Amino acid sequence: MYDLFFQKFREKVPLSVEEEQQIKSYLTPKKLRKRQYLLQEGDICKTLAFVEKGALREYSVDNGSEHIIQFAVEGWTISDLFSFLTGEPAIYNIDALEDSELILITRTAHEELLQTQPKYETYNRVLITSAYVALQRRLTASISLSIEERYTNFTTMYPDIAQRVPQHMIASYLGLTPETLSRARKKMTTRK
């Protein structure tokens, strides 16, 4: 159940068996059915969620239309970090796109681990740093690339997600309507 979590952890920071056991004692497994919410806008985000299996999305809703800001598949962590850290109400929703298995870390667990387990802090720092870099690249893409480029960028970066997720959600992730993405794809195939 915790295999992937510790595999990913060790890729970033090596761990002894004892350390692994100590950290494991802070983790909670959770299963989520397709379409179930992990978090709803307005609630306080109580946990970080690591995806052992399945796929989730994080999105905001603004007068009726959804804007996906992140996908998470196996090996990824998802949360409304701002809400998690500050205790303010979440501005995002998170729900499952497939039946999923998660590993949850509550805020108190997170804080105790930061205090008591230096390797957890290091892991956390490395994790958030690469998330930041990825997000910065994504923002650059969204500001400077054409729709076609953004789409190809996405499919080559995350071929896995591109296959598992309906196209209109990718459109939403890219900040487009489904129609516009459909037409962009058509243009791409007729020319290529």
Partner DNA sequence: CCGTTTTATTGACAAAAGTCAATGGTTTTT
Partner DNA sequence: AAAAACCATTGACTTTTGTCAATAAAACGG
Residues forming the site for DNA (CB under 7 A)? 34, 146-147, 166-168, 175-186
141 touches 150 (CB < 8 A): yes
User: Shortest distance, CB of residue 140 to a second copy, whole angstroms?
Assistant: 6
> CA 48, CA 151: separation in Å to the nearest integer?
29
CA dihedral 113, 96, 8, 27 (to 10 degrees): 30
Interface region with a second copy, contact rule CB under 8 A, candidates 31-39, 41-49, 135-143, 152-160: 135-143
Considering only 81, 104, 157, 162, the residue that binds a second copy (CB under 8 A) is 81
Interface region with a second copy, contact rule CB under 8 A, candidates 6-14, 24-32, 120-128, 184-192: 120-128
Burial class (CB in 10 A: 0-12, 13-18, 19+), 191: exposed
Burial class (CB in 10 A: 0-12, 13-18, 19+), 71: buried
Name the percent of the chain in helix, strand, coil, to the closest 5.
50, 25, 25
The answer to the question of residue 44 lying near a second copy (CB under 8 A) is no
Considering only 118, 166, 167, 186, the residue that binds a second copy (CB under 8 A) is 118
User: Shortest distance, CB of residue 174 to a second copy, whole angstroms?
Assistant: 8
> CA 40, CA 42: separation in Å to the nearest integer?
6
User: Shortest distance, CB of residue 121 to DNA, whole angstroms?
Assistant: 39
User: Applying CB under 8 A, which residues contact a second copy?
Assistant: 60, 62, 65, 67, 69, 81-82, 85, 91-92, 118, 121-122, 124-125, 128-129, 131-133, 135-140, 142-145, 175
